[in-house]
């Protein structure tokens, strides 16, 4: 898109540097905010005030005398850059069907399930979120659960170029709070739950909920909400609602029978008054709830439960969600992303449901420089539900791991446990303790392959750690 046409759409820009006919006719194909991403035809947005790419056309909030190229000055850099990026990618984005999922837990599983269900019918569907962009032959890592506009808009253009059509994407509370999705329109939205997390950012649960509710203003379609959650239940009465529940027979989607076993579930569920039977190869009632949310979202694009049912036995959870780890240790070892009180409780209860006669062990930690109020509740949950507990580092960041341990132990009372600051050492110690009738849940990191300790980022792949035991 020509630079002068872009500037006609966004008022109030000041120009520093030459402004001749060549500059006016310059083509701007994208925006970048990392020096390594800049190339000809890209407008560089100067968020970080670091070195500017030589020869770049720069959008900035203050004049940079160290750069002799053309500079465009504005007062609200995030908003202006978002508008410009949206203009450049508008045609591609408008050609896509965008569906958003929000909630404290379950977002990744919902978009993953929905993408699999729709793709099983030959539809070009993709999932976008914590695990990157996946589906329809595309696999891209992404920096955030909900990406900044300058990362998100080019991804959506790439989906359009690859002939993709439907994108199920995660909408985090922080992404919504920072207006990262502003300007997009969603055909439908899914709502999983709201439980304690991120209160260091939102302050209170009610503020957290109001930030989530921002998604409603971006949606023009069906609202698929969870009857079993006190916050999302408030959405009852919104236009075009579709409800789901594990057991509430008044919900549009609900289960009549749930039989757990060591490889998954045998199910009977109701979908808009019609009964269906299925088997699914994954564990955890929270994941059954996520499945219903996904089915509701796929239904919102015109697919019936009867069409989806044949795909249910072939569904898989995302990487690091109640996933069995390969190891020489006895018993069964699973890796799960649970990193909040609600997530940890659901995961441990799921393990007890599927393995009621086994001895349950759990290994986990809590992140540093983040919501410290959730640490004691997680300690209480672990000591209550597990037979043995290992505490270890998560992403301790600038906090001493020992201080994080102290906060967790405050909720454990006198319950016995082990402490290892080194996460790999903790995992190996837990694996060494395993007997044939034991189940070990390694919680908190899931799919992640890095660990942040102080100023150091370490490689930490728990699946490799278990395999190498």
Q: pTM to 2 decimals?
A: 0.92
Beta-carbon contacts of 319 under 8 Å, excluding residues fewer than 6 positions away, are: 131, 446, 447
Q: Is the pLDDT of residue 239 over 80?
A: no
What average pLDDT is seen over the chain?
95
Q: Which residues of 198-223 are buried (b: 16+ CB within 10 A; e: fewer)?
A: bbeebeeeeebbebbbbbeebbebbb
> In residues, how long is the chain?
469
Helix (H, G, I), strand (E, B) or coil at 193: coil
Q: What integer pLDDT is reported at residue 433 of this predicted model?
A: 98
Beta-carbon contacts of 269 under 8 Å, excluding residues fewer than 6 positions away, are: 253, 254, 255, 256, 275, 276, 278, 292, 305
Q: Is residue 220 very low, low, confident or very high in pLDDT (cuts 50, 70, 90)?
A: confident
Q: How far apart are CA 217 and CA 231, in angstroms?
A: 17
Q: Is residue 195 very low, low, confident or very high in pLDDT (cuts 50, 70, 90)?
A: confident
Phi-psi region of 94 (alpha: psi -120 to 50; beta: other; left: phi over 0): alpha
DSSP-H helix ranges across 74-222:
77-94, 107-119, 149-161, 173-177, 199-202, 205-213
Least confident of 12-26, 30-44, 126-140, 413-427: 12-26
Helix (H, G, I), strand (E, B) or coil at 113: helix
Q: What integer pLDDT is reported at residue 49 of this predicted model?
A: 86
Q: What integer pLDDT is reported at residue 12 of this predicted model?
A: 85
Q: Dihedrals φ, ψ of 29, to 5°?
A: -95, -20
What pLDDT, in 10s, does the model give residues 393-413? Answer: 999 999 999 999 999 999 999
Q: How far apart are CA 209 and CA 105, in angstroms?
A: 13
Q: How far apart are CA 387 and CA 396, in angstroms?
A: 25
What pLDDT, in 10s, does the model give residues 87-134? Answer: 999 999 999 999 999 999 999 999 999 999 999 999 999 999 999 999
């Amino acid at each position: 898109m020509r630079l002068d046409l872009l500037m006609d759409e966004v008022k109030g820009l000041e120009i520093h540097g030459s402004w001749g006919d060549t500059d006016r006719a310059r083509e701007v194909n994208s925006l970048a905010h990392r020096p390594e991403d800049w190339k000809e035809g890209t407008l560089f947005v100067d968020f970080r005030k670091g070195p500017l790419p030589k020869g770049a056309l720069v959008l900035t909030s203050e004049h940079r005398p160290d750069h002799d190229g053309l500079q465009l000055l504005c007062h609200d850099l995030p908003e202006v850059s978002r508008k410009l990026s949206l203009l450049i990618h508008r045609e591609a984005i408008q050609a896509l069907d965008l569906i958003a999922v929000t909630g404290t837990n379950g977002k990744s599983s919902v978009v993953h399930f929905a993408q699999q269900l729709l793709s099983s019918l030959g539809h070009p569907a993709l999932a976008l979120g914590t695990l990157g962009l996946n589906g329809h032959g595309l696999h891209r890592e992404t920096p955030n659960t909900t990406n900044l506009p300058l990362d998100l808009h080019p991804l959506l253009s790439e989906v359009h170029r690859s002939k993709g059509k439907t994108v199920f994407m995660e909408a985090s509370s922080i992404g919504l709070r920072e207006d990262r999705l502003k300007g997009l329109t969603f055909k439908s939205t899914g709502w999983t739950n709201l439980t304690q997390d991120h209160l260091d950012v939102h302050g209170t649960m009610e503020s957290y909920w109001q930030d989530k509710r921002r998604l409603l203003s971006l949606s023009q379609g069906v609202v698929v909400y969870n009857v079993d959650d006190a916050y999302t239940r408030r959405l009852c009465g919104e236009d075009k609602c579709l409800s789901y529940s594990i057991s509430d027979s008044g919900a549009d989607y609900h289960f009549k029978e749930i039989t757990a076993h060591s490889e998954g579930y045998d199910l009977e569920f109701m979908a808009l008054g019609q009964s269906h039977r299925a088997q699914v190869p994954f564990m955890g009632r929270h994941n059954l709830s996520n499945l219903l949310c996904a089915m509701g979202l796929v239904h919102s694009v015109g697919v019936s439960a009867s069409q989806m049912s044949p795909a249910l036995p072939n569904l898989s959870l995302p990487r690091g969600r109640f996933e069995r780890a390969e190891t020489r240790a006895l018993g069964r070892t699973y890796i799960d992303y649970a990193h909040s009180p609600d997530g940890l409780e659901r995961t441990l209860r799921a393990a007890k449901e599927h393995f009621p006669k086994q001895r349950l062990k759990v290994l986990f930690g809590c992140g540093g420089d983040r919501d410290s109020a959730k640490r004691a509740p997680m300690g209480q949950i672990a000591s209550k539900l597990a037979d043995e507990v290992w505490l270890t580092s998560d992403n301790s960041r600038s906090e001493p791991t020992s201080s994080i341990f102290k906060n967790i132990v405050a909720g454990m009372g006198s319950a016995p446990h082990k402490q290892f600051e080194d996460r790999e050492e903790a995992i190996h110690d837990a694996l060494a303790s395993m007997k044939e009738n034991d189940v070990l849940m390694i919680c908190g990191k899931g799919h992640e392959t890095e660990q942040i300790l102080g100023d150091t980022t370490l490689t930490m792949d728990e699946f490799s750690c278990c395999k190498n035991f």
